[in-house]
Protein backbone atom coordinates (compact mmCIF):
# COMPACT_ATOMS: atom_id res chain seq x y z
CA UNK A 1 0.00 0.00 0.00
CA UNK A 2 2.81 2.41 0.93
CA UNK A 3 4.56 1.59 -2.32
CA UNK A 4 1.38 2.28 -4.31
CA UNK A 5 0.88 5.60 -2.54
CA UNK A 6 4.51 6.58 -3.21
CA UNK A 7 4.15 5.72 -6.90
CA UNK A 8 0.92 7.74 -7.06
CA UNK A 9 2.60 10.78 -5.50
CA UNK A 10 5.55 10.42 -7.86
CA UNK A 11 3.24 10.24 -10.86
CA UNK A 12 1.33 13.30 -9.66
CA UNK A 13 4.56 15.26 -9.17
CA UNK A 14 5.80 14.31 -12.64
CA UNK A 15 2.51 15.42 -14.18
CA UNK A 16 2.61 18.73 -12.30
CA UNK A 17 6.17 19.32 -13.51
CA UNK A 18 5.20 18.51 -17.09
CA UNK A 19 2.25 20.92 -16.88
CA UNK A 20 4.51 23.65 -15.51
CA UNK A 21 6.99 23.20 -18.35
CA UNK A 22 4.14 23.28 -20.88
CA UNK A 23 2.79 26.54 -19.48
CA UNK A 24 6.23 28.16 -19.45
CA UNK A 25 6.94 27.00 -23.01
CA UNK A 26 3.61 28.46 -24.14
CA UNK A 27 4.54 31.82 -22.61
CA UNK A 28 7.97 31.81 -24.24
CA UNK A 29 6.66 30.92 -27.68
CA UNK A 30 3.87 33.50 -27.66
CA UNK A 31 4.34 36.82 -29.46
CA UNK A 32 2.31 38.61 -26.77
CA UNK A 33 1.42 38.27 -23.07
CA UNK A 34 -1.20 35.65 -22.29
CA UNK A 35 -3.91 35.27 -19.68
CA UNK A 36 -4.42 32.11 -17.66
CA UNK A 37 -7.64 31.42 -19.57
CA UNK A 38 -5.89 31.73 -22.94
CA UNK A 39 -3.06 29.43 -21.86
CA UNK A 40 -5.60 26.94 -20.52
CA UNK A 41 -7.38 26.97 -23.88
CA UNK A 42 -4.16 26.40 -25.80
CA UNK A 43 -2.75 23.57 -23.67
CA UNK A 44 -5.93 21.87 -22.54
CA UNK A 45 -5.60 22.44 -18.79
CA UNK A 46 -8.11 23.82 -16.32
CA UNK A 47 -7.81 27.58 -15.78
CA UNK A 48 -7.37 27.19 -12.02
CA UNK A 49 -4.44 24.83 -12.59
CA UNK A 50 -2.81 27.28 -14.99
CA UNK A 51 -3.31 30.13 -12.51
CA UNK A 52 -1.52 28.15 -9.80
CA UNK A 53 1.32 27.31 -12.16
CA UNK A 54 1.69 30.96 -13.19
CA UNK A 55 1.81 32.03 -9.55
CA UNK A 56 4.60 29.51 -8.90
CA UNK A 57 6.52 30.58 -12.01
CA UNK A 58 6.18 34.24 -11.03
CA UNK A 59 7.47 33.54 -7.53
CA UNK A 60 10.49 31.73 -9.02
CA UNK A 61 11.21 34.59 -11.45
CA UNK A 62 10.27 32.79 -14.68
CA UNK A 63 7.00 34.63 -15.37
CA UNK A 64 5.77 38.16 -14.65
CA UNK A 65 2.48 39.98 -14.80
CA UNK A 66 2.29 42.55 -17.57
CA UNK A 67 -1.29 43.60 -16.87
CA UNK A 68 -4.25 42.78 -14.68
CA UNK A 69 -4.56 39.24 -16.07
CA UNK A 70 -1.72 38.79 -18.55
CA UNK A 71 1.67 37.14 -18.11
CA UNK A 72 4.95 37.07 -20.03
CA UNK A 73 8.35 35.38 -19.49
CA UNK A 74 10.53 36.99 -16.83
CA UNK A 75 14.32 37.43 -16.69
CA UNK A 76 14.73 34.09 -14.94
CA UNK A 77 14.20 32.42 -18.32
CA UNK A 78 17.09 34.41 -19.80
CA UNK A 79 19.31 33.66 -16.84
CA UNK A 80 18.57 29.96 -17.07
CA UNK A 81 19.23 29.91 -20.81
CA UNK A 82 22.49 31.84 -20.50
CA UNK A 83 23.75 29.40 -17.89
CA UNK A 84 22.59 26.38 -19.89
CA UNK A 85 24.29 27.37 -23.17
CA UNK A 86 27.70 26.78 -21.61
CA UNK A 87 26.81 23.09 -21.27
CA UNK A 88 26.28 22.56 -25.02
CA UNK A 89 29.48 21.70 -26.87
CA UNK A 90 27.94 22.61 -30.24
CA UNK A 91 27.94 26.24 -29.09
CA UNK A 92 31.67 26.26 -28.29
CA UNK A 93 33.78 23.29 -29.35
CA UNK A 94 33.55 23.77 -33.16
CA UNK A 95 33.98 27.54 -32.94
CA UNK A 96 37.42 27.73 -34.58
CA UNK A 97 36.34 25.34 -37.33
CA UNK A 98 33.25 27.43 -38.02
CA UNK A 99 35.19 30.70 -38.06
CA UNK A 100 37.65 29.18 -40.54
CA UNK A 101 34.73 28.02 -42.68
CA UNK A 102 33.26 31.54 -42.74
CA UNK A 103 36.63 32.94 -43.84
CA UNK A 104 36.58 30.54 -46.80
CA UNK A 105 32.95 31.12 -47.75
CA UNK A 106 33.31 34.89 -47.72
CA UNK A 107 30.08 36.85 -47.72
CA UNK A 108 28.02 33.83 -46.67
CA UNK A 109 26.68 32.59 -43.33
CA UNK A 110 27.80 29.23 -41.98
CA UNK A 111 25.77 27.55 -39.23
CA UNK A 112 25.36 24.34 -37.30
CA UNK A 113 21.78 23.22 -36.75
CA UNK A 114 20.00 20.62 -34.66
CA UNK A 115 16.58 19.17 -35.40
CA UNK A 116 14.94 18.89 -31.99
CA UNK A 117 11.29 17.96 -31.61
CA UNK A 118 10.45 19.35 -35.01
CA UNK A 119 12.28 22.65 -34.50
CA UNK A 120 15.56 23.83 -36.01
CA UNK A 121 17.96 25.20 -33.39
CA UNK A 122 20.99 27.08 -34.73
CA UNK A 123 24.45 27.07 -33.15
CA UNK A 124 27.51 29.16 -34.06
CA UNK A 125 25.93 31.10 -36.92
CA UNK A 126 29.04 32.72 -38.37
CA UNK A 127 29.86 35.39 -40.96
CA UNK A 128 33.39 36.20 -42.03
CA UNK A 129 34.84 38.88 -39.77
CA UNK A 130 31.92 38.89 -37.33
CA UNK A 131 31.63 37.26 -33.90
CA UNK A 132 29.56 34.05 -34.12
CA UNK A 133 26.04 33.91 -32.71
CA UNK A 134 26.27 31.05 -30.22
CA UNK A 135 22.60 30.09 -30.19
CA UNK A 136 19.35 30.94 -31.92
CA UNK A 137 16.00 29.15 -31.58
CA UNK A 138 13.52 31.75 -32.83
CA UNK A 139 11.84 29.15 -35.03
CA UNK A 140 11.67 28.71 -38.80
CA UNK A 141 9.34 26.77 -41.14
CA UNK A 142 10.89 23.39 -41.87
CA UNK A 143 9.97 23.41 -45.57
CA UNK A 144 12.05 26.59 -46.08
CA UNK A 145 15.03 25.51 -43.98
CA UNK A 146 17.85 23.75 -45.83
CA UNK A 147 19.29 22.14 -42.65
CA UNK A 148 15.81 21.26 -41.39
CA UNK A 149 14.74 19.67 -44.67
CA UNK A 150 18.10 17.91 -45.07
CA UNK A 151 17.72 16.29 -41.65
CA UNK A 152 14.11 15.32 -42.38
CA UNK A 153 15.28 13.36 -45.43
CA UNK A 154 17.05 10.89 -43.12
CA UNK A 155 13.89 10.14 -41.11
CA UNK A 156 11.13 7.64 -41.92
CA UNK A 157 8.70 9.31 -44.28
CA UNK A 158 5.72 9.20 -41.92
CA UNK A 159 7.79 10.84 -39.15
CA UNK A 160 9.12 13.51 -41.52
CA UNK A 161 5.64 14.29 -42.83
CA UNK A 162 4.28 14.61 -39.30
CA UNK A 163 7.00 17.13 -38.42
CA UNK A 164 6.18 19.11 -41.55
CA UNK A 165 2.49 19.11 -40.65
CA UNK A 166 3.21 20.40 -37.17
CA UNK A 167 5.50 23.05 -38.66
CA UNK A 168 2.62 24.13 -40.93
CA UNK A 169 0.30 24.40 -37.91
CA UNK A 170 2.80 26.61 -36.09
CA UNK A 171 4.27 28.78 -38.86
CA UNK A 172 1.90 28.47 -41.75
CA UNK A 173 3.06 27.42 -45.20
CA UNK A 174 4.66 30.32 -47.02
CA UNK A 175 5.78 30.13 -50.62
CA UNK A 176 7.97 33.23 -50.94
CA UNK A 177 8.95 32.15 -54.47
CA UNK A 178 7.54 29.56 -56.91
CA UNK A 179 10.39 27.04 -56.37
CA UNK A 180 9.30 26.55 -52.74
CA UNK A 181 7.11 23.44 -52.28
CA UNK A 182 3.32 23.61 -51.98
CA UNK A 183 2.80 20.68 -49.60
CA UNK A 184 4.52 18.39 -47.11
CA UNK A 185 4.73 15.59 -49.66
CA UNK A 186 6.20 17.89 -52.30
CA UNK A 187 8.79 19.20 -49.82
CA UNK A 188 10.15 15.69 -49.24
CA UNK A 189 9.98 14.77 -52.92
CA UNK A 190 11.77 17.94 -54.01
CA UNK A 191 14.33 17.50 -51.25
CA UNK A 192 15.17 13.99 -52.45
CA UNK A 193 15.45 15.22 -56.05
CA UNK A 194 17.84 18.01 -55.02
CA UNK A 195 20.00 15.83 -52.74
CA UNK A 196 23.34 15.22 -54.43
CA UNK A 197 26.53 13.88 -52.84
CA UNK A 198 24.84 14.15 -49.42
CA UNK A 199 24.27 17.90 -49.97
CA UNK A 200 20.95 19.71 -50.30
CA UNK A 201 20.91 23.06 -52.11
CA UNK A 202 17.75 25.19 -52.20
CA UNK A 203 18.22 27.90 -54.82
CA UNK A 204 15.68 30.72 -55.02
CA UNK A 205 13.20 29.28 -52.49
CA UNK A 206 13.24 32.38 -50.28
CA UNK A 207 14.02 35.02 -52.88
CA UNK A 208 15.61 35.22 -56.31
CA UNK A 209 19.37 35.06 -56.15
CA UNK A 210 19.45 33.59 -52.63
CA UNK A 211 20.72 30.10 -51.85
CA UNK A 212 20.68 27.88 -48.76
CA UNK A 213 22.41 24.53 -48.47
CA UNK A 214 23.10 21.83 -45.89
CA UNK A 215 24.93 18.58 -45.19
CA UNK A 216 24.59 16.22 -42.22
CA UNK A 217 27.30 16.10 -39.54
CA UNK A 218 28.35 13.05 -37.53
CA UNK A 219 28.16 14.37 -33.96
CA UNK A 220 28.23 11.54 -31.38
CA UNK A 221 25.80 11.88 -28.46
CA UNK A 222 23.96 14.76 -30.10
CA UNK A 223 20.57 14.99 -31.84
CA UNK A 224 20.69 15.04 -35.68
CA UNK A 225 23.07 17.85 -36.73
CA UNK A 226 23.50 19.65 -40.05
CA UNK A 227 25.99 22.22 -41.31
CA UNK A 228 24.60 24.90 -43.61
CA UNK A 229 25.82 27.65 -45.90
CA UNK A 230 23.47 30.46 -46.95
CA UNK A 231 23.96 33.56 -49.05
CA UNK A 232 23.75 35.05 -52.51
CA UNK A 233 23.79 32.51 -55.33
CA UNK A 234 26.31 34.56 -57.31
CA UNK A 235 28.98 34.10 -54.63
CA UNK A 236 29.58 30.41 -55.39
CA UNK A 237 28.38 27.79 -57.88
CA UNK A 238 26.74 24.53 -56.67
CA UNK A 239 29.90 22.44 -57.11
CA UNK A 240 31.88 24.89 -54.94
CA UNK A 241 29.13 24.85 -52.30
CA UNK A 242 29.23 21.04 -52.15
CA UNK A 243 33.02 21.08 -51.92
CA UNK A 244 32.86 23.56 -49.03
CA UNK A 245 30.16 21.60 -47.22
CA UNK A 246 32.21 18.40 -47.27
CA UNK A 247 35.39 20.22 -46.25
CA UNK A 248 33.71 22.16 -43.43
CA UNK A 249 31.99 19.00 -42.21
CA UNK A 250 35.31 17.19 -41.82
CA UNK A 251 36.72 20.08 -39.80
CA UNK A 252 33.66 20.28 -37.53
CA UNK A 253 33.56 16.52 -36.96
CA UNK A 254 37.24 16.56 -36.05
CA UNK A 255 36.68 19.40 -33.58
CA UNK A 256 33.97 17.37 -31.84
CA UNK A 257 36.27 14.42 -31.17
CA UNK A 258 39.39 16.37 -30.13
Average pLDDT over residues 134-156: 93
Domain 88-257 in the same topology as domain 2-79: no
Flag the least confident range among 86-95, 192-201, 227-236: 86-95
Domain 2-79 has CATH 1.10.10.10: yes
Average pLDDT over residues 140-166: 96
User: What value does the mean pLDDT of the chain take?
Assistant: 91
**Contact present, 23 and 57 (Cβ < 8 Å):** yes
- Rounded Cα gap, residues 21 and 13, in angstroms: 12
Domain boundaries, given as residue ranges, for the chain: 2-79, 88-257
Domain 88-257 has CATH 3.30.450.40: yes
pLDDT band with cut points at 50, 70 and 90 for residue 129: confident
Rg (CA), the chain: 21
* pTM as predicted: 0.83
- Rounded Cα gap, residues 89 and 178, in angstroms: 38
pLDDT band with cut points at 50, 70 and 90 for residue 90: very high
Amino acid sequence: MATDQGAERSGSSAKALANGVTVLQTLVESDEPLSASEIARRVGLHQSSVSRILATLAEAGYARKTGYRSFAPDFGVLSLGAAAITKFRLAHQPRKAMEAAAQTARGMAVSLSVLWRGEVIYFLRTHDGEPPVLFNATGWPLHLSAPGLRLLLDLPEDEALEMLRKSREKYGWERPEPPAPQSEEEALRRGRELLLHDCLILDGWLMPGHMSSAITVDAPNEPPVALSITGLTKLADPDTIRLWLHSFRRSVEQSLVD
